[in-house]
Amino acid sequence: MREAVVIKNAGSHYLLSELPTWAPFPAVLRGKVRLKGSTATNPVAVGDRVIYEMADKAVITAVQPRRNYFIRKSTNLSREAHIIAANLDQAVIAVSLFFPEIKLPFLDRMLVTCEVYGVPAVIALNKVDLYREDAPDYVADFKRIYEGAGYRVIETSCLTGEGIDELREACKGKLSLFSGESGVGKSSLIKALDPSLDPKIGKISAAHLQGKHTTSLYEMYPLACGGFIIDSPGLRGFGLVDLKPEEVALYFPEMLRASAGCRFTPCTHTHEPGCAVKEAVDAGIISAERYNSYLGMLEEDGKFRK
C-alpha cells in the first residue's frame, strides 16, 4: 500500500500523484470507502491524501484525515454537501465588480466557509482594467470593506498583467484552490499565472451578464513557479454547511474582534443594548455591507444553510 494525492476527480474515476512528484496515474475507488459521519456527495475530493493498492490498476482503499477542506451545500438544495477540495494552504477567491456584477453576500458566504473550515483566503479582484478609470471609487470601496475585515486583496488584470506577479508569488510553494462565481475570469487567471497550463476559458453570456460554466471537473495543476493550484467549476450558488445561526458571527473576523466589548454574552449583534459590533458598524469600523451579509445569513430559511 502506498500514499498519493488526488489531483483530479471525474465522477467515479480519479487521477493520483505521489506529490511533490508530478506523475499522474488513474485510480478507482473501492466501493466501501466512506468518510465516517460525512453526508458529502463525494467521499474523495481533490487534494485528499489517499492510501491505494495496485492490482490491475490503482484502487483507493482509504482516505487520510483532512487538515481542512472547502465545502458547500449541494446545488439541488438537499441536505447533502459537496466537498470542493481538501488539505489546502489557501483559497484564492476570484471576483469581478462588473461583468458579472459582484454579489457581496455570495462572496461573504465563501469567506465564512473558509473561516469555518480553516482555509486561509485571498481575494483576487480581477478585471480591474475594465473599471479602474471609470469607477475608481468602486475599487476603493471594495478594498476598504475586505481589507478592513482582514483579508488580502490583490488587484489583477489578465489583459494588462497587473497583479499577476503578486498573485503568482502568493501561490508559490502552496496548494491553492481557485474558486469564484461563473465568469469572473478564474481560468484566465490560472492561464496568466502559468501560460503552460490550459484550463478552459469561457465567455460572458450577454443576455444575462453571467459567466457560462467552463470548468466541469475539479483538477489540480503544477505551477512552474512551484506549488499547485486546483481549478474548480464556476459557482452560481453557495450554501453554508453545519453552521448554526448563533455561530455565524464567530466567522466574521472583524465582528469577532469587536464582540469582546459587547455588554451581553452571547450577543446576536441585532437588538441587544451595549452591542460593540453595532457600535462599530455605526462608526464605520465594520462595513455596513458585511454587517448586512451577516443579517442575511441569520434570516435565511435553510435555502443556503444545511
DSSP class of 115: H
Q: Which CATH topology does 2-65 take?
A: OB fold (Dihydrolipoamide Acetyltransferase, E2P) (2.40.50)
How long a stretch of residues is the chain?
306
Q: What is the pLDDT along the chain (306 residues), one digit of tens a residue?
A: 899 999 998 877 899 999 999 999 999 988 766 555 556 677 899 999 999 999 888 999 999 999 999 988 755 555 677 889 999 999 999 999 988 889 999 999 999 999 999 999 999 999 999 888 778 889 999 999 999 999 999 999 999 999 999 999 999 999 999 998 888 889 899 999 999 987 654 443 333 333 333 334 789 999 999 999 999 876 655 667 677 888 999 999 999 999 999 999 889 999 999 999 999 999 999 999 999 999 999 887 444 443
Q: Which CATH topology does 70-231 take?
A: Rossmann fold (3.40.50)
For 250, the grid coordinates are 464567530
Report the 10 Å Cβ neighbour count for 143.
15
Domain boundaries, the chain: 2-65, 70-231, 245-299
- Compute φ and ψ for 193, nearest 5 degrees: -65, -40
**CATH code, 245-299:** 1.10.40.50
Q: How far is CA 215 from CA 150, 183, 234, 261, 264, in A?
A: 30, 11, 7, 45, 47
In whole angstroms, give the CA distance from residue 249 to residue 265: 13
